[in-house]
Chain A
Amino acid sequence: MRNELMDNVETSTPVSTNRMRLSIGPSHPATHGTVKIDVELDGETMVDAQVEIGYLHRAFEKSCEQGNYMHPIPYTDRLNYVSPLICNFGYAQAVEKLLAIEITERCKYIRVIMSELSRVTDHLTCIGASAMELGAFTVFLYLMKAREYIYELIEDVTGARLTVSYVRIGGVKADFPWEFEKKTRLALRKTREVLDEVDRLLTKNRIFYDRMRGVGVCTPEIAIQYGITGPFLRSCGVNYDVRKVTPYLVYDCLDFEVPLGIQGDNYDRYLCRLREMEQSMRIVEQAFDRMPKGEINVDFEGRPMSAAEMRDLSKFGATEGLLRRSVNAEPTLAGSERVFSGLVNIPERKVMLPPKEETYSNIEGLMNHFKMVMTGHGLRPPKGETYTAVEGANGELGFFVVSDGTDRPYRVRCRPPCFPTMAALPHFLIGYSMADLIPTFGSVNMIGGELDR
């Protein structure tokens, strides 16, 4: 509820009152991520708020220009560190568009599934953190438990929980592991149980409702003026979702809804995120149903061996027959062997790293690998520029990549979804109580890595 106190201050106060300046952050329990909000308080009402960002600036865009086109992939992990896979895919998609290549069907489904799983983890974190800051610590831990189910899946596929670096230009690092679909469906079922429980704990909780409803109201006009996207925009009732508006990957073949809010307050944003998780899980299940089945049991010739063994053999020139053999790559690379590589990666040699068997067993493969990896070689998109966007967990996550025909990007510009929201933040703070800063800031879901780049 917007406080009327503010309006009365100028007109009818014989008592002299002083306003208090308070710096919230950069190290404050509520500013997860490092950001500073300078507020001016009249009593406990905020009459002025200024957001100061940049504490986590690490020159992402400049760093991207220093290496070849594959080098930025690990940097993109650090953009939105709560859903790094979406950032991965967003960058790869831009470079693929520059190269004008189409990735394989199975890879598209893999990317959709991993994106949606990441979106669920992101929303889980956002709702959990907001609830914790309102004092509902138990809810936070329940949601972290659910996030853990999904992190385990991500760990299974990518070998890492946070710094995943899963994408490759033209494909992904590895195919899904054995029985991944079964595991995923189980994890989603358990996640749904947790979400039901949290729904019961929060959605109709009077205290939670009163804290969230009517607080931090964002009008569609302000949202559009600032270029806010994602759940924050949709909570004001504006139907804009990159997955629907400019479908990428296979989103146009999948059936899902875009939950919309009405009032644009914190409560609507909470509900939007809650419903979006359900939609994301629906997408994952559909994608598994429709995904072209990877024939894992192709005709092997010869016994499988370890990659190291094969590498040692090839050092002695004993490469005859090795080409047709299958290797067991080390655990961090499992799923990237030839049989899988053909399914998830395009066969374009100028773009993709060759499967490990090729690298280790013949000179062409090794050469190919070398040309891809060494500075001054690598993939060279034609001159040009492109902007593509994916629907990140916080909104439109866009990459603008300029190529000058060399092996290094001339410019990589990232459009972080929470930047416009942070710019507009004072609109949602001024006039409310200082305690309202916490849920409002929480619903922005500011991710320092993505905001400051």
Chain B
Amino acid sequence: MMEGLAVAAGKVAFSLFVLLNFVMLLTWAERKQSALMQDRIGANRASIFGFTWLGLFHPLADALKMVSKEDFVPAGANRGLHAVAPFVALFFALISFAAIPFGDQLWIGRHPVNLQVIDLNIGLLYVFAAMSMGVYGFVLAGWASNNNFSLLGGLRAASQMISYEITIGAAVIGLVMVFGTINLQTIVHRQGELLLGFLPAWGVFYQPLGFLLFVTAAMAETKRAPFDLPEGESEIIGYFLEYSGIKFGMFLMTDFVETVVVAGLVATLFFGGWQFPYLYRDGFHLPGGGILVLSQQVVCVIQVLTFLSKLAFFCWLSLLVRWTFPRFRYDQLIRLGWQMMLPLSILNVVVTGGVLLLLHR
């Protein structure tokens, strides 16, 4: 009993550690990446005893700044809901990461430990549900602030989430049909096989269209440019207009957490999660036929690192998109969701179904 609790606590701690550190690093990477793209130097001033280390201390400085700032609540705001909103948003973003597996089973002595916080057989639905719940935070923030700009931001957030939830769901149906499960760990296991003898059986090779649709919709879900309409800093400033200090920081963090979660989902569903090509439980099976034997612990470490690198790559991709494109307009975004992406994802389901039917006859 105690052992089980300790293992569970360890997994939660590891998962949160990875997630929050990714978020911290992402704020730094965003600054540096944008600076790189824009011929600037980027944040490089925060120092500890004179060491700046490429500005790596800036996330710390930001956090300190946020915590020590005045927490201002506007007159006429609903104080209770105003305070609850950022917690709701951040909480649901954080827990959605729990179902994403970050490694295969690790054997400690004779106990297998599943490297996943919760092994749910409805893992995919759980992640989607948790991410959908998060929108309540934004809507609450918009409504409770007693500010017309915030209200518009909240409304935009709500309609954007609803429109893109559907596309996200529809885009992965094809994948679920291919793998026949919505258990994320099982989906990753299925992707460990080989296609045509050399190609890793990653979801992206089965579902290229589904992948594109999913990535686009998921980026819209994270509310970052070019889909940052609820924020739209030059138009309506956003649902968090009346927030300051750490509450504002929590909204910022939510965006980054969602970016990491989405990156994790994309890696898990379409890029084999923790699977390293040709790496199996007992070591590398080279395409030529040779086997490089590795101990189970080493394999596990490689798998976790693989997952983390994939996570980092998709976070970086999101930064790249963020700093390249201008923003959509509200009605254009909704039209894109309902009139382009939803029909395409349904088409994807139909085509996938047809192909599966032909193959299994």
Number of interface residues of A (CB under 8 A): 33
Q: How far is the CA of A361 from the CA of B219 in the complex (A)?
A: 73
Looking at the assembled complex, report how far the CB atom of B322 sits from the nearest CB atom of chain A, in whole angstroms.
9
Per the bound structure, the CA–CA distance linking A205 and B321 in Å amounts to 13
- Which A residues are in CB contact (< 8 Å) with B37? 138
Complex: how many Å from CA A90 to CA B39?
36
Interface centre among A21, A134, A145, A437 (most CB of B within 10 A): A134
Q: B235: CB under 8 A from chain A? A: yes
Does any Cβ of B come within 8 Å of A141's Cβ?
yes
Q: Are A138 and B324 in contact (CB under 8 A)?
A: yes
**B323 x A138 contact (CB < 8 A):** yes
Q: Which of A137, A208, A434 is within 8 Å of B323, CB to CB?
A: A137
Q: Judging by beta carbons under 8 Å apart, are A135 and B226 in contact?
A: yes
B126-145 CB mask vs A (1 if < 8 Å, else 0) is: 00000000000000000000
Q: Identify which of residues 102-140 in chain A touch chain B, using a CB-to-CB cut-off of 8 Å.
A: 131-139
Chain A CB count within 10 A is highest, among B234, B325, B332, for B234
Contact check, B38 vs A141: say whether CB atoms are below 8 A apart.
yes
For A207, the chain B residues whose CB sits under 8 A away are: 226, 325-328, 332
Residues in A neighbouring B239, C-beta threshold 8 A: none
Cβ–Cβ contact A20 & B148, under 8 A: yes
Partner of A434, one of B40, B233, B236, B332: B236
Residues from 188 to 228 in A contacting B, C-beta threshold 8 Å: 201-202, 205, 207-208, 210-211
Q: Give the docked Cα–Cα distance between A201 and B331 (Å).
A: 23
The smallest C-beta distance from A431 to any residue of chain B, in angstroms, reads 13
Q: Is the CB of A205 within 8 A of B235?
A: no
Residues from chain B with Cβ under 8 Å of A205 in the complex: 325-326
Contact across chains for A136 and B235 when beta carbons are under 8 A apart:
no
User: How far apart are the CA atoms of A202 and B323 in the complex, in Å?
Assistant: 13
Give the nearest-CB partner of A434 in chain B: B235
Closest CB in chain A relative to B33 CB, distance in Å:
11
Residues of A within 8 A of B149 (CB): 22
What's the least CB distance linking A148 to chain B, in Å?
10
Inside 8 A of A65's CB, which chain B residues have their CB? Answer: none
Chain A residue with minimal CB distance to B39?
Answer: A145
Q: Does B206 count as interface, using CB distance less than 8 angstroms? A: no
- Pick the residue among B229, B234, B326 that contacts A29 (CB under 8 A): B234
CB <8 Å contact, B325 and A132: no
Query: How far apart sit A211 and B326, CA to CA, in the bound complex (Å)?
Result: 9
Residues in B whose Cβ lies below 8 Å from that of A133: 234-235
Chain B CB within 8 A of A435 CB: yes
- Nearest residue in B to A132 (C-beta to C-beta)? B234
Q: Is the interface of A mostly helix, strand, loop or mixed?
A: helix
Rounded to whole angstroms, the CA-CA distance of A137 and B225 in the bound complex is 10
Q: Are A435 and B329 in contact (CB under 8 A)?
A: yes
Q: A136's closest neighbor in chain B, by CB?
A: B326
Interface string of B327-358 (1 = CB under 8 A from A): 11111100000000000000000000000000
Once the chains bind, are A134 and B148 in contact (CB under 8 Å)?
no
A-contact 0/1 string along B11-39, CB 8 Å cutoff: 00000000000000000000000100111
Interface size class of B (residues with CB under 8 A): 20 to 34
- CB proximity of B71 to chain A, nearest CB, Å: 22
Does A291 interact with chain B (Cβ within 8 Å)?
A: no
Residues of B within 8 A of A137 (CB): 34, 38, 323
B329, A135: Cβ atoms closer than 8 Å: no
Q: A29-B233, A30-B235, A142-B38 are contacts. A210–B329 as well, Cβ < 8 Å?
A: yes
Taking the complex as formed, is B228 at the interface, i.e. its CB lies under 8 A from any CB of chain A? yes
Which residues of chain A are near B326, meaning CB under 8 Å?
131, 134-136, 139, 202, 205, 207-208, 211
Interface-central residue, B228, B235, B328, by most chain A CB under 10 Å: B235
| A162 at interface, CB cutoff 8 A | no
Cα of A377 to Cα of B39 in the assembled complex, Å? 52
- Do B148 and A435 touch across chains, with their CB atoms under 8 A apart? no
Give the docked Cα–Cα distance between A434 and B234 (Å).
11
- Contact code string B222-252 (vs A, CB < 8 Å = 1, else 0): 0001101100111111000000000000000
Q: Is A44 an interface residue (CB 8 A)?
A: yes
Counting chain B CB atoms within 10 Å of each CB, which of A28, A138, A139 scores highest?
A138
A436 interface hit (Cβ, 8 Å): yes
B152 close to chain A: CB less than 8 A: yes
Does the CB pair B34–A29 fall under 8 Å?
no
Specify which chain A residues have a CB less than 8 angstroms from the CB of B229 in the assembled complex.
Answer: 435
Min CB gap A152→B, angstroms: 16
Min distance, Cβ A28 to any Cβ of chain B, angstroms: 8
Q: Chain A contacts of B328 at CB under 8 A?
A: 207, 210-211
Q: B152 contacts which chain A residues (CB < 8 A)? A: 22, 44, 434
Nearest chain A residue, comparing its CB with the CB of B327 = A135
Q: Is A445 an interface residue (CB 8 A)?
A: no
Closest to B324 in A: A138
The reply to whether B330 and A44 form a contact with Cβ atoms under 8 Å apart is yes
Per-position contact with B for A23-40: 1 when CB-CB < 8 Å, else 0?
A: 000001110000000000
Complex contact A141–B40 (CB within 8 A): yes
Closest B residue to A23 by CB, please name it.
B148
What's the minimum C-beta distance from B234 to chain A, rounded to whole angstroms? 4
Chain A nearest Cβ from B43, distance in angstroms:
15
**Bound: A211/B225 CA distance, A:** 14
A158 within 8 A of B: no
Flag if A135 contacts B34 (CB, 8 Å). Answer: no
Residues of B within 8 A of A29 (CB): 233-234, 237
| Alpha-carbon gap, A21 to B34, bound state (A) | 36
> Which residue of chain B lies nearest to A432 when distances are taken between CB atoms in the complex?
B329
Q: Is the CB of B234 within 8 A of A135?
A: yes
Q: Is A436 a contact of B34 with CB atoms below 8 Å?
A: no
**A142-159 interface code vs B (CB 8 A; 1 in, 0 out):** 100100000000000000
Given contacts A28-B237, A135-B225, 18 further A-B contacts (CB under 8 A): A44-B330, A133-B235, A135-B228, A136-B326, A139-B326, A142-B38, A145-B39, A202-B326, A205-B326, A207-B326, A211-B328, A433-B331, A435-B229, A435-B235, A435-B330, A436-B329, A438-B234, A438-B235
Please list 9 pairs of residues, one from A and one from B, whose beta carbons are closer than 8 Å in the complex, sorted by A's number.
A44-B330, A131-B326, A135-B326, A136-B327, A139-B326, A141-B39, A210-B329, A433-B330, A435-B229
The 5 closest A-B pairs by CB, nearest first: A135-B327, A133-B234, A136-B326, A134-B326, A141-B38
Report which B residues bind A (CB closer than 8 A).
34, 37-40, 148-149, 151-152, 225-226, 228-229, 232-237, 323-332
Question: Residues of A at under 8 Å CB distance from B?
Answer: 3, 20-22, 28-30, 44, 131-139, 141-142, 145, 201-202, 205, 207-208, 210-211, 433-438
